[in-house]
């Protein structure tokens, strides 16, 4: 452990890789305690969007841009482990290989399935470790299915949502809560015949909304050709400046911290619930059984029921007049 910390502080990449593995295996507490004072410097960027939009190409282009600016980069590819998208994701990942030989780019794939708290579990630790290690920029990339795109917004300072021209569901997308997480909309493949229409649709949606601070930016890119990446980077820098001057950065990081504590505490309690379940003898109904199990947790009269859980990302917009 002491050797690991020495190597980590000396900037040895293998120590960073090892540290992330330790957190993934559930033994990160002493490590995180040691490195946590070092964090807070990195600019963290979340990148999400539907399969096929070109997220990995965008990610790769962003990394190349940051490197040109002399910044060191960490990339976390979150694989939601959908059996049905696995093949496609693997294909996508290959685009990042151009950075594999750059010692100042650290790339890590992480599975989200199998971790309580999904993306926000070990992934948040990995972001902290890359930050503490000294990476200037950390990009967290995930495919937008299920909860992952909400969770990424809880971790990242700036969330980019990439959209697909001609996919025909831009309005549905915008209705369904994506406006709550997008700091920057990216219309990739902007040479597509439907790209202008998609941009118009997004602009109309944005005009219908009231934003209390930051109004989501809209950038058109052709990531494969490297077109629009400088504008995208400028939007990220603009948002970063907004976060810092408005106090929103502090607010978001506090919310993200609370979410991590919540996930860790729930994980620990889950083990105890499992132990209590072993001793549960008679098959009452699930609610009665849960109330019985909860008696061992020092709280009297917990309310037992499936409640809807609100998104924990601070809302960034509200629909005018609705």
**Residue tagged 């504008």 (tokens):** 231
Q: Cα separations (Å) of 138 from 29, 63, 132, 198, 245?
A: 22, 9, 11, 28, 21
Q: Which two tokens stand for residue 144?
A: 């937008």
Rounded Cα distance, 196 and 201, in Å? 9
| Chain residues 244-303 in contact with its own copies, contact rule CB under 8 A | 254, 257-258, 260-274, 276-277, 280, 283-291, 293-294, 296-299, 302-303
Task: Identify the residue whose tokens are 């994980």.
Answer: 267
Binding positions for its own copies, 10-49, rule CB under 8 A: 23-29, 32-33, 36, 49
| Interface pick for its own copies out of 17, 88, 94, 225 (rule CB under 8 A) | 88
Q: How many chain residues interact with its own copies (CB under 8 A)? A: 92
Q: Which is nearer to its own copies, 67 or 253 (CB)?
A: 253
| CA dihedral for 246, 252, 255, 260, sign (positive or negative) | negative
Residue 222 per-residue DSSP state = B
Site pattern 141..160 for its own copies (x: CB under 8 A): ---xxxxxxx----------
Q: Reduce the DSSP state of residue 27 to 3 states and report it.
A: coil
Give CA–CA dist 165/199, Å, rounded. 9
* Residue 39 φ/ψ, nearest 5 degrees: -85, 170
Closer CB to its own copies, 24 or 141, in the complex: 24
Interface region with its own copies, contact rule CB under 8 A, candidates 66-74, 114-122, 184-192, 232-240: 114-122
With contacts defined by CB under 8 A, name the span among 9-17, 97-105, 107-115, 205-213 that binds its own copies: 107-115
Q: Does 54 bind its own copies (CB under 8 A)?
A: no
Instruction: Please report how close the Cβ of residue 267 comes to its own copies at its closest, in angstroms.
Output: 6
CB-nearer residue toward its own copies: 102 or 201 = 201
Nearer to its own copies, 231 or 291 (CB): 291
The whole-angstrom separation of Cα 287 and Cα 303 is 10
Which residues 190-249 are close enough to bind its own copies by CB under 8 A? none
Closest separation in Å from C-beta 264 to its own copies: 4
Of the candidate residues 117, 165, 216, 228, the single one contacting its own copies (CB under 8 A)? 117
CB of 210 to its own copies, least distance (A): 20
- Closest to its own copies by CB, 138 vs 293, is 293
Helix (H) or strand (E) segment spanning residue 46: strand 43-49
Burial profile 111-135: b = 16 or more Cβ within 10 angstroms, e = fewer: ebeebebbbbbbbbbbbbbbbbbeb
Site residues for its own copies, 123-142, by CB under 8 A, read 124-125
Residue for token digits 């917009």?
317
């Amino acid at each position: 452990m002491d050797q690991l910390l020495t190597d980590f502080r000396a900037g040895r990449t293998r120590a960073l890789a090892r540290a992330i593995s330790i957190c993934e295996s559930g033994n990160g507490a002493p490590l995180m305690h040691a490195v946590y004072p070092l964090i807070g410097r990195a600019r963290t960027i979340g990148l999400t969007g539907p399969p096929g939009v070109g997220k990995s190409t965008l990610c790769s282009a962003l990394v190349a841009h940051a490197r040109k600016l002399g910044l060191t980069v960490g990339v976390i590819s979150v694989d939601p482990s959908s059996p049905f998208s696995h093949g496609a994701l693997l294909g996508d990942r290959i685009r990042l290989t151009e950075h594999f030989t750059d010692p100042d780019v650290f790339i890590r794939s992480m599975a989200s399935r199998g971790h309580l708290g999904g993306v926000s579990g070990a992934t948040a630790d990995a972001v902290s470790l890359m930050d503490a290690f000294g990476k200037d920029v950390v990009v967290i990339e995930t495919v937008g299915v299920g909860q992952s795109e909400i969770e990424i917004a809880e971790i990242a300072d700036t969330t980019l949502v990439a959209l697909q021209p001609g996919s025909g569901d831009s309005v549905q997308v915008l209705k369904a809560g994506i406006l709550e997480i997008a700091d920057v909309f990216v219309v990739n493949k902007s040479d597509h015949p439907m790209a202008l229409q998609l941009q118009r649709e997004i602009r109309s949606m944005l005009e219908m909304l009231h934003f209390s601070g930051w109004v989501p930016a809209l950038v058109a890119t052709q990531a494969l050709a490297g077109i629009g990446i400088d504008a995208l980077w400028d939007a990220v820098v603009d948002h970063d400046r907004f976060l810092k001057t408005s106090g929103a950065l502090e607010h978001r990081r506090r919310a993200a911290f609370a979410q991590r504590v919540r996930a860790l505490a729930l994980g620990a309690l889950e083990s105890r619930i499992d132990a209590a379940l072993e001793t549960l003898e008679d098959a009452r109904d699930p609610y009665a059984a849960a109330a019985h199990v909860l008696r061992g947790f020092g709280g009297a009269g917990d309310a037992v029921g499936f409640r809807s859980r609100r998104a924990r990302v601070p809302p960034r917009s509200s629909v005018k007049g609705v």
